[in-house]
Structure 1
Amino acid sequence: MTFSPRRPLTAVLLAGALLAGTAGCSTFSDSGRSKYAQGEGKPAEDDDASASASSSAEAELPYDIRPLLHPDKKYYGLAAKGAPASMKSVKEFASSTGKKPNMIEFYSAWGDSYETTLAQNAWDYGALPFIAWEPFKRSLAGIAAGKDDAYIASYARSVKTLNQPVAISFAHEMNGFWYSWGTKKATPKEFVRAFRHVHDVFEKVGATQVIWVWSPNVINPMPKVRLEPYWPGDSYVDWVGVVGYYARTGPSTFPTLYGPTMDQIRAFTKKPFIVAETAAEAGDRKPADIKDLFQGVEKRDDVLGHVWFNFDKEADWRISSGPASARTYREQSRSSRYGFDVTKP
C-alpha cells in the first residue's frame, strides 16, 4: 500500500534503445533519429540536412522512454522524507547502502501542478521520477466525465515541455477500501474509465514521456476483490506496480506476499511488474524480510525492481530501524542486478 503521510497504520498492515538520455533533452545519433522519426510516422531526414535543421528536429522529438521500459538490470527505488524537493535524505540513503537509488517516488495531490523542479531534481541525480497521483479532490466518475480536463491537459503540457521521462501511477490501490477512490467510493468501471481518460488526455496533448503504472495493492487483505475488472488494458499500461509491505503479522515471504496477486494478474496481462512500494516493519524479522525482498525480485525476470518506503510514520519502515536491518540492506544492495544509469539505459 502506498504509505503517504496521510496513510493510517491499519492500511499498511492490511495491505533496445534508440537513445542515451541526458538531463533536459534526448540525445540521438543521426541514424537513431531517422529510425525514431520513421517509427513516429514522419519522413526520415536527408543525410545532407543542415546542422541547424537536425538540431531543431532533435529538440522537437519527445524523449524516447522505450529503453526504460524493460531494462536489463533492476530499478533500485526509494521514497524518502523531503525527496526529491531536497535530495538530502536520498544521499544519506545512498551513503548508508553503498548504492545510489535510480528511481525516486513521491506523491502529487489532484489539483497540484506538475512539479517540474522535483522531477528535474530526481533526474539530475540520476533517478527516474515516479509520481503517485492521488485524486482526493474529484471522484473517478467526475474525472472520467471530463470535469478536470483543463487541469489534466495543463499537467500533461508541463510533462511534455520538460521533456524528460516520468513514471505516473494514477489512483493507486484502487482495489482497497482506504482511499476515496477505492472500493467503498468507486466501481471498477469508473476506475477504468478515469484511468483511460487521463491517459487519453495526455496522448491528445502529445505528452508521450510518461511510463504509465497501474498499481493495485496486494490482494491478501481483500481476496474477494478481483483485479481484472480494474484492468485498463495493455495499450494503457506500461508497468504493473504491485504494492505490498512486510508487516509483523501476515505474509512474510515474497511468494506469499506478492505471489497470489501476480498470479492473478498474469491471467490477463504479461506487462512487467515493479514492486511500486514496500518496506518491512521494525522487529526481529526485518533483516530476513529485507533479504527475502531482494532475492524475490532477483529471481523473477518479469519484476523490474522495487521502491523502498524509507519513513518512520506510525511504524518505523526505515532501513536504519536497527543495525542488523541496515547491514542486511547494504549487503543485498551490492547485487550487480540492482541499479543502472537511467539516463543511459
Structure 2
Amino acid sequence: MIVYFAGWGDGFDATATRNAWNAGALTVVSWEPHGTKLARIADGASDRYIRAYAQAVRKLNIPIAISFADEMNGDWEQWGASEAAPRDYVRAWRHIHRVFADAGATNVIWTWAPNIIQPGTHKDLSRYYPGDKYVDWVGLVGYFTDWDPHSFTGLFGATLTEIDRFSRKPRLLLETAAMPGRHRTEDVRALFAGITASPGIVGFSWFDHKARADWRLATSPEGTAEFRRMAANALYGFDVRKVR
C-alpha cells in the first residue's frame, strides 16, 4: 500500500497509481481540501473539478482508495472541528461520493479516517460519519509519541470502541508511526502485535517522513530491525474485492 497526499485542485496521478498496482501495491490518496470550504463543496462549487477527477479514476479502472479530509475531528486542519460543522463534512463527503458514482467511478474504496480520540479532538465520531452506504473502510490516524501509551490498545482502543458503536466496516490505520528514541522498538512491536490480533484491520501505513517529529524508520536502527523482523513474520495479504 502506498499513501500519497493530494491538494484540492491537484489532478489524479494515474501513472503513479498504475505503476504501484503493477508492483503489487494499492494506492491510497489522502485528498485534502485546502483553500475551500466543506459547505461550498457540498453545494456543488467544485463539481467540475470533482467530476474530472472521478472520470480519470474511472478511466484507470483499477482499485484505488480515497480518504477525503481526514482528521476532521481535530482542531488543526482547515476542515477540522474548529472550522467546519460536522453536518457540512457529511454533506461534502456524500456529495463527492455521488459525483463519483454518477461518473461511473466504482473502483474507489472510500476510506473515512478520523484522528484517534485524544485531547483536542471530538469524541463523538458518529457526528462525522457519512454512513455505511458511503464508506468502505474506516481509517484511523494515530501516532506513538513519548507522551502517549506505548501499547496498541492504549493508543487505538478507545477510538476503535467508539467506531464500533456505529460501523463494522473494515479498518485501516491510514497514518501511524512512532517517535524515534528509546520507545520506538517497543512501539513497533506493539503496532504489529495489535494488528495481528485485530482481524478487522486490513493493514497500515507508516508515515515515513520528517515532519513535527522525525518519523522515518531509518532514524532508529533498532526500530528498523524490529520492524523488518515483525514484518517478515506477519502474513498480510488481502483481496480488496472481498473486504468492500
Query: Do these two structures clear the TM 0.5 threshold for a shared fold by scoring above it?
Result: yes
TM range (shorter): over 0.9
Structure 2 counterpart of 1:320, one-letter code:
A
Structure 2 counterpart of 1:189, one-letter code:
R
Q: Does the Cα contact within 8 Å between 2:71 and 2:115 map onto a contact in 1? A: yes
After the TM superposition, which parts of structure 1 deviate over 4 Å for at least 4 consecutive aligned residues? 339-343
Corresponding position: 1:247 with 2:145: yes
CA shift for structure 1 position 148: 0.5
Aligned to 2:182: 284
Aligned to 1:79: none
CA shift for structure 1 position 327: 0.8
Q: Does the Cα contact within 8 Å between 1:191 and 1:230 map onto a contact in 2? A: yes
CA displacement 1:91-144 (0-9 Å, x = unmatched): xxxxxxxxxxxx000011011111111211211221000000000021000000
CA shift for structure 1 position 326: 1.1
CA shift for structure 1 position 341: 7.9
CA shift for structure 1 position 218: 0.1
Q: Percent identity?
A: 45
Unaligned runs of 5+ in 2: none
Aligned with 1:263 (options 161, 165, 180) = 161
Q: Does the Cα contact within 8 Å between 1:127 and 1:342 map onto a contact in 2? A: no
Aligned to 2:71: 173
Corresponding position: 1:139 with 2:37: yes
Aligned to 1:309: 207
Paired residue total? 243
Structure 2 counterpart of 1:119, one-letter code:
T
Aligned to 1:45: none
CA shift for structure 1 position 299: 0.1
Matches for 1:295-334 after TM superposition, within 5 Å:
295-334=193-232
Unaligned runs of 5+ in 1: 1-102
Aligned with 2:23 (options 95, 103, 125) = 125
Corresponding position: 1:112 with 2:30: no
CA shift for structure 1 position 339: 4.2
Corresponding position: 1:337 with 2:209: no
Structure 1 counterpart of 2:101, one-letter code:
E
Measured at CA, do residues 205 and 182 of structure 1 come closer, stay the same or move farther in structure 2, by a change above 3 Å?
A: same
CA shift for structure 1 position 151: 0.6
The TM-score normalised by the length of structure 1 is 0.68
Distance 1:115 1:304 in 2: 24
CA displacement 1:319-340 (0-9 Å, x = unmatched): 1212211110011001242246
Distance 1:176 1:224 in 2: 7
Higher relative contact order (CA 8 A, sep 6+): 1
Structure 2 counterpart of 1:160, one-letter code:
R
Q: Does the Cα contact within 8 Å between 1:169 and 1:213 map onto a contact in 2? A: yes
Corresponding position: 1:162 with 2:63: no
Q: Does the Cα contact within 8 Å between 1:114 and 1:155 map onto a contact in 2? A: yes
Distance 2:137 2:122 in 1: 23
CA displacement 1:263-302 (0-9 Å, x = unmatched): 0110011111111100000010000000100010000111
Aligned-CA RMSD value: 1.7
Q: Does the Cα contact within 8 Å between 2:202 and 2:238 map onto a contact in 1? A: no
- Of the structure 1 ranges 223-232 and 203-212, higher mean CA displacement relative to structure 2 is found in 223-232
Distance 1:295 1:244 in 2: 16
Structure 2 counterpart of 1:104, one-letter code:
I
Measured at CA, do residues 260 and 342 of structure 1 come closer, stay the same or move farther in structure 2, by a change above 3 Å?
A: closer
Measured at CA, do residues 140 and 224 of structure 1 come closer, stay the same or move farther in structure 2, by a change above 3 Å?
A: closer
